Amino acid sequence: MRAWIEIGHGEDVQDLPTRADAEITWLVRGAGPRPVDAISGARLPDGRPYAWIAGEAAEVRTLRRHLVAAGPEGRGFDRRRVTFTGYWRRGATEEDLLAELLTVGAVSS
């Protein structure tokens, strides 16, 4: 298993005890490669891959597109084997997101 975890500061690196045979790579935002760049150059385990992605919405979209794209620009993962969620959007406040949800909910009704 491979895990890439993006953090805001190098001091945020911590020990993550696990029983899994896991290789964890810490990515310090602004001090190294973006997650998609780190993963695009990484060797992934053999077998039928599965990915779980969570984080900032634009980064999650970019990474998912990379994983499911075929050919030299992607990894060719089966779309059904990639679970993803964008928890926030850069530049949007909680109030912005709540207002957006209320607007979408009103239009859907």
Long-range contacts of 40-43, Cβ-Cβ distance < 8 Å, separation of 24 or more: 40/66, 40/75, 42/2, 42/4
Query: Is the CB of residue 84 less than 8 Å from the CB of residue 54?
Result: yes
Give me the half-sphere count of Cα atoms (radius 13 Å) on the Cβ side of residue 81. Answer: 11
How many domains does one find in the chain? 1
Query: Is the CB of residue 49 less than 8 Å from the CB of residue 29?
Result: no
Q: How many C-beta atoms surround the C-beta of residue 106 within 10 A?
A: 8
* Residue 87: CATH number of its domain: 3.40.50.80
**pLDDT beneath 50, residues of the chain:** none
The predicted pLDDT at position 97 comes to: 66
Q: What is the mean pLDDT of the chain?
A: 88
For 74, the domain range is: 2-108
CA-closest candidate to residue 39, choices 4, 78, 81 = 4
Q: What is the pLDDT of residues 57-79, one digit of tens each?
A: 899 999 999 999 998 889 999 99
